[in-house]
């Protein structure tokens, strides 16, 4: 599995193991290397949504990306130019 689908597919398999195969949450959690409260939360979200939509990763808050429009070459040039300035300051 790869990319964004892997998390969704793992969640779906874990939820189905609990709901359809009646495997205890603690057993599923051990098998998937997750905490039992995480599996429980996935099951609840699945049931509340009434379908697989409850398992899609939600956007989370966090620090916004400041360098969205700067490509790798431009960033490298900025960092190197800062290094030159810092080194010049040490010469005096």
Q: Are 11 and 55 in contact (CB under 8 A)?
A: yes
Both structure tokens of 16: 């189905």
C-alpha distances out from residue 13 to 6, 25, 75, 91, Å: 11, 12, 41, 62
Q: Express each pLDDT in 5-31 by its tens digit.
A: 458 888 899 999 999 999 999 999 999
Angle, helices 25-32/36-49, rounded to nearest 10 degrees? 110
pTM score, whole prediction: 0.56
Flag whether pLDDT at 92 surpasses 60.
no
Report which of residues 5 and 54 the model is more confident about: 54
> Judging by beta carbons within 10 Å of its beta carbon (0-12, 13-18, 19+), is residue 35 exposed, middle or buried?
exposed
């Amino acid at each position: 599995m790869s990319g964004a689908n892997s998390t969704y597919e793992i969640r779906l398999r874990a939820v189905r193991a609990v709901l359809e195969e009646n495997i205890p949450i603690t057993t599923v959690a051990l098998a998937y290397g997750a905490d039992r409260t995480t599996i429980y939360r996935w099951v609840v979200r699945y049931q509340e949504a009434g379908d697989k939509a409850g398992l899609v990763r939600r956007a989370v808050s966090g620090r916004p990306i400041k360098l969205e429009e700067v490509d790798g070459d431009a960033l490298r040039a900025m960092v190197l130019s800062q290094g030159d300035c810092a080194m010049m300051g040490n010469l005096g």
